[in-house]
Amino acid sequence: MRVTFTANGKPVEADDVWEGESLLYVLRERVGLPGSKNACEQGECGSCTVYLDGVPVCSCLVAAGQVQDREVRTVEGLAEESGELGLVQQAFIDAGAVQCGFCTPGLLVQTDALLDNEPQPSDNDIREALSGNLCRCTGYEKIMDAVRLASARKCAKAASE
Amino acid sequence: MSTRTIQGQKNLQDIRTSSPDGIGGSPLRPDGNLKVRGEFAYSSDMWHEDMLWGMALRSPHPRANLISVDISEALKVPGVYAVLTHKDIPGSKFYGLEIQDQPALAIDKVRYHGEAIALVAADHPETARRAVKKIKVEYEVLTPIVTEEQCLDPQTHGYVHEPHEYKSHGYDNICHEQKLVSGLGVTDEVRALADVVVSGHYEVGMQDQAFLGPESGLAVPAEDGGIDLYVATQWLHVDREQMAPVLALPEEKVRLTLAGVGGAFGGREDLSMQIHASLLALHTGKPVKIVYARDESFFGHVHRHPAKMYYEHGATRDGKLVYADARIVLDGGAYASASPAVVGNAASLGHGPYVIPNVRMHAIALYSNNPSCGAMRGFGAVQAAFGYESQMDKLAAELGIDPVELRQLNAMAEGDYMPTGQKIDSPAPVAELLQRVKDMPLPPPLDLDNLDIRQVPGALSNTSHGEGIVRGIGYSVGIKNVGFSEGFDDYSTARVRLEVIGGEPVAMVHTAMAEVGQGGVTVHAQIARTELGVEQVTIHPANTEVGSAGSTSASRQTYMTGGAVKLAAEAVKQALITKGRRRYGWDQNDIDLVGGKVVSESAGVLVSMVDLLGEEAIDLTREHHHRPTVPFDKETGQGFGHVQYTFCANRAVVDVDVDLGLVKVVELTAVQDVGKALNPLSVVGQIQGGVTQALGLAVMEEIVVKDGKVRNASFTDYLIPTILDTPPIPVEILELPDPNAPYGLRGVGEAPTVSATPSIVAAIRAATGIALNRIPVRPEHLTGTL
């Protein structure tokens, strides 16, 4: 089947999609967006998290056909239009929250969504919001730092605007 | 002489300290930008026009004879390009890290659940999956050999490898053993010297590395008949060394390039898909990509050895250790992997960082029909630490001594001797680490009146509202070796090139080091900046075009490959200075490279590196070998076996819901001596990640194996800590330089994983009063409902 949808603001089209393919597979193998990662492919680790119509989902659990005519935003779409890193992306680098980085794309999308809803989350809010994203390298402490840093920068930016 | 003195010494120092991105600084990862953009190419992201997907058929039985394997139906599936069995292997059928006992594809029997039997290459992963299901295998299912008793009684239960099948050694299902005796050993006379004796049996479950990036890679057949493999691994050259004989190719025709690695933790030391993808690619003439699904990942790599241990310690009334006796039985599973070295570690480090006058130890690794076990972070020292640290708490309780004081009373220090007879010839601040961790401020008590239920074990499922919670505190300290031991010439190679690009001096660092997330690439750039006085450093992709870097394991890469980068950069620096001496006739002995210039303490700036280099590049390669070690004596365990030791101390604070049997770790503190923190941000990150894996082992992580079958090969059932399970992790680092190591550094990555688990269990014991002797601690251990 053919699936057409919007990925990071651009229309995309995938042909010969087998009915059982996931959105994750289509993104990674058919439309050249491998940023979303394939760690468990059963919705347990959060590495493949993308926005679907503005809501973070595990793209491995979304059938390709479900995204027909819908909007997908992946980690590749988190940077500014100028090409500069987005605020959450930069915070993850600055805080040392990226080690192997395999969990990072999913965490970035989930953190972006968290801060959209709650610009100043408490530590418990952060832990709850990110509890579906496994990281095996960092011990999460620097991820906490990154989210706190992104929150502070986001609030400072909002205050200055 | 064209020397211009334009700066005084003060300015010179300003230049010298002007780069915050040299060693001791915390520059950002060179790969960080790509990683947060989703543009960093991990091994599972590899893609090639016309590539095929490879997949393996794996055994559902832990022990069976293969009566027949019929691939005819699988070959008929449209889109299938190849179906291969061991008969299609052109070269040696076996490989292995230390002992070549593992068939690349099962030959006439399978020895563990998940062993690969046949391979398929197809145009879509689903096609491959369907074809795999069409392969018909007739098994004669045999009773698996899975317990210690069964393994050690082969006359009754049989051999995992029949004696005539052994590739190089082994007997009675024992893969390797190491004994150790020091002082008088443990005899009745020695026992009589102790006022107090404590003993216990301890058990460690099978932990998994559970790296997030699945085993994967792309094999591309080359025109010269060789293969180009892009792969996530820990050691490119040892992969090649094992692959080439199986593929019947000379090593130079097996070219490996490191693709992005999504974590490793020891699980990528052994081959996984490397041979399989290459066989399929060579057979079909097309690029073949293999990406393990998560269940296949659990089957496709070796795990941490589960252990059964007996420990006995004798001490005087005032707490001085008199003797220690231990037996450690590690289940190595079907194939040897790194079991011999793991046994060596367990035996030599198995009594902990303590001075004990009389010691006896017997460590063995078994062959069984359980999943193969090999390298995982901590490598044989983890299991033992749970044993000896549990014993220290038991002894402290018996003597009525504070557990930290008891440990300090017996702590080893520089100048003391290991039970192997090896003198500790660099700082060993065991007592100080314990003191510092004890002195760190404690977290506030749980405020039941203002409770956020997310802080409480089990509360998110609404099973509790904070009633029945007790808090406990536990301490631990551990010891880990750095680098490969027992006489292994563990070297690393680095190539450093200095040239002018865009009007700037630029250094390029080329090594075969596997960057698995630990930050080696960042540190290599820091070293080159520091040694060459340049800002711009590029890191060449790691591949087999340069000499071996050894493994990214054993906490050795910064020491070994960092050391090689230092040597190569120093050589480049000397070559540049020599060039300047020849051209300008400098006679100063205090010439250095700083801030892109050649400078002299006495004469100031001599020339810019750009002017001196001109069009010419200086490109030099150096090897770094650590000081030699020797194998341990088989019977006595004596010998200078380890390169370096590293120590970490921990304090765990836990809340336990005694009704539900649930544990919430409230805080997990680590204090570690790192010798010299080349990159403090990365060092702290390594320690925090390391203790979190220890937390996993303490309270949740275990591959459940029943009758040789893996019951939880998924992230649904094999639980690793989430951010909700993981507490704040305060870290303090000490920097006491090791005179034998580059920059005085100590390997960092493993020590926290060795030491932290016992502190958590000690804290749970303190909270509940229950004598816990098995990890992971499960709810039923705490509620008495086992």
What ranges do the domains of chain A cover? 3-76, 87-160
> Best of B26, B33, B34, B37 to disrupt the A interface by mutation (most A CBs within 10 Å)?
B37
Helix (H) or strand (E) holding B207: none
Percent of chain A with pLDDT over 90: 99
Is residue B170 predicted with pLDDT exceeding 90? no
Chain A: residue nearest B682 by CA?
A96
Same domain, B447 and B587: no
Helix (H) or strand (E) holding B440: none
Question: Distance, in angstroms, between A90 CA and closest chain B CA?
Answer: 8
Is residue B461 predicted with pLDDT exceeding 80? no
Helix (H) or strand (E) holding B488: none
What are the CA-CA distances from residue B658 to residues B223, B357, B639, B784 (Å)?
66, 40, 47, 10
More confident call, B556 vs B171: B556
The residues, any chain, with a CB within 8 Å of residue B290's CB and separated by 6 or more, are: B53, B54, B55, B215, B216, B217, B219, B273, B276, B277, B280
DSSP string, B603-635: TEEEEEHHHHHTT--EEEEEEEEPPP--PPPTT
Is residue B3 predicted with pLDDT exceeding 50? no
Domain count, chain B: 3
Residue B157 in contact with residue B150, Cβ under 8 Å? yes
Residue B773 in contact with residue B652, Cβ under 8 Å? no
- B164 within some domain: no
Instruction: Name the β-bridge partners of B710.
Output: B705
Percent of chain B with pLDDT over 70: 97
Structure tokens at B108: 């006439």
User: Which residue from B556, B387, B392, B561 is spatially nearest to B481, judged by alpha carbons?
Assistant: B556
Residue B524 in contact with residue B511, Cβ under 8 Å? yes
Same domain, B689 and B648: yes
* CATH, residue B582: 3.30.365.10
Is residue B168 predicted with pLDDT exceeding 90? no
- B310 within some domain: no
Residue carrying the six token digits 């983890």? B382
Q: Quick check: A104 and B691 CB within 8 A?
A: no
d(CA A44, CA B714): 9
d(CA B57, CA B77): 15
Place B447 in a pLDDT band, splitting at 50, 70 and 90: confident
Is residue B169 predicted with pLDDT exceeding 70? no
Same domain, B457 and B591: no
Grouping H, G, I as helix, E, B as strand and the rest as coil, residue B767 is: helix
- B367 within some domain: no
Neighbour tally for B711: CB within 10 Å: 12
Place B15 in a pLDDT band, splitting at 50, 70 and 90: very low
Is residue B349 predicted with pLDDT exceeding 80? yes
Whole-number CA gyration radius for chain A: 16
Same domain, B579 and B459: no
Residue carrying the six token digits 């292994």? B488
Same domain, B121 and B255: yes
Same domain, B63 and B88: yes
Question: Distance, in angstroms, between B289 CA and closest chain A CA?
Answer: 12
Contact list, A98 vs chain B (CB under 8 Å): 29, 32, 35-36
CATH class of residue range A87-160: mainly alpha
Q: Quick check: A100 and B212 CB within 8 A?
A: yes
Q: Quick check: A76 and B37 CB within 8 A?
A: yes
Amino acid at B204: V
Same domain, B765 and B686: yes
Question: Distance, in angstroms, between B521 CA and closest chain A CA?
Answer: 11
Phi, psi of B695 (to 5 degrees): -60, -45
Q: For chain A, list residues with pLDDT below 70.
A: none
* Overall average pLDDT of the B634-646 stretch: 98
Residue B30 in contact with residue B539, Cβ under 8 Å? yes
Helix (H) or strand (E) holding B564: helix B557-584
Superfamily of domain A3-76, CATH level 4? Beta-grasp domain (3.10.20.30)
d(CA B111, CA B109): 7
Structure tokens at B763: 């804290």
Structure tokens at B352: 């902990």
Q: Quick check: A44 and B714 CB within 8 A?
A: yes
The pLDDT mean for chain B works out to: 95
Amino acid at B763: A
| Residue B9 confidence (pLDDT) | 37
Neighbour tally for B368: CB within 10 Å: 30
Neighbour tally for A71: CB within 10 Å: 15
Same domain, B608 and B523: yes
Query: Tens of pLDDT along B59-69?
Result: 999 999 999 99
Helices (H), B56-138: 72-75, 125-134
Supply the DSSP symbol for A81. Answer: T
Instruction: State the residue range of the domain holding B101.
Output: 43-142+215-261+268-300
d(CA B71, CA B635): 50
Q: Quick check: A139 and B688 CB within 8 A?
A: yes
Query: Tens of pLDDT along B261-274?
Result: 999 999 999 999 99
Instruction: Name the β-bridge partners of B311.
Output: B200, B326
- B90 within some domain: yes
- B179 within some domain: no
Residue B467 in contact with residue B630, Cβ under 8 Å? no
Q: What are the DSSP E strand ranges found in B384-502?
A: 469-482, 491-501
- B773 within some domain: yes
| Residue B2 confidence (pLDDT) | 34
d(CA B486, CA B628): 9
User: Which residue from B20, B1, B21 is spatially nearest to B604, judged by alpha carbons?
Assistant: B1
What are the CA-CA distances from residue B47 to residues A90, B128, B288, B416 (Å)?
28, 17, 9, 55
Supply the DSSP symbol for B423. Answer: B
Q: Can you say how many angstroms the Cα of residue B7 is from the centroid of all Cα atoms in its chain?
A: 48
B641 exposure class (CB count in 10 Å sphere: 0-12, 13-18, 19+): buried
- B533 within some domain: yes
d(CA B496, CA B567): 9
> Best of B723, B724, B729 to disrupt the A interface by mutation (most A CBs within 10 Å)?
B723
Residue carrying the six token digits 């520089």? B414
Contact list, B45 vs chain A (CB under 8 Å): 28, 34
Is residue B459 predicted with pLDDT exceeding 80? no
Contact list, A82 vs chain B (CB under 8 Å): none
Same domain, B434 and B571: no
Contact list, A29 vs chain B (CB under 8 Å): 47
Contact list, B670 vs chain A (CB under 8 Å): none
Query: Tens of pLDDT along B361-416?
Result: 999 999 999 999 999 999 999 999 999 999 999 999 999 999 999 999 999 999 99
B400-434 residues labelled b (16+ CB within 10 A) or e (exposed): ebebbbbbbbbbbeeeeebbbbbebebbbbbbbbb
The DSSP bridge pattern shows strands B196-204 and B774-775 to be: parallel
Residues in chain A: 161
This model of the complex carries an ipTM of 0.99
Residue carrying the six token digits 């030599």? B348
Amino acid at B259: A
Same domain, B705 and B619: no
Question: Distance, in angstroms, between B731 CA and closest chain A CA?
Answer: 10
Residues in chain B: 786
Is residue B10 predicted with pLDDT exceeding 70? no
Q: What is the largest CA-CA distance in chain B?
A: 87
Structure tokens at B41: 């190419």
Same domain, B50 and B116: yes
Residue B671 in contact with residue B689, Cβ under 8 Å? no
| Residue B165 confidence (pLDDT) | 64
Residue B107 in contact with residue B69, Cβ under 8 Å? no
Grouping H, G, I as helix, E, B as strand and the rest as coil, residue B453 is: helix
- B256 within some domain: yes
Same domain, B117 and B240: yes
Question: Distance, in angstroms, between A156 CA and closest chain B CA?
Answer: 22
Neighbour tally for B19: CB within 10 Å: 18
**Is the peptide bond between B443 and the residue preceding it cis, with omega within 30 degrees of 0?**
no
- For residue B749, how many C-alpha atoms fall within 13 Å in the half-sphere facing its CB? 26
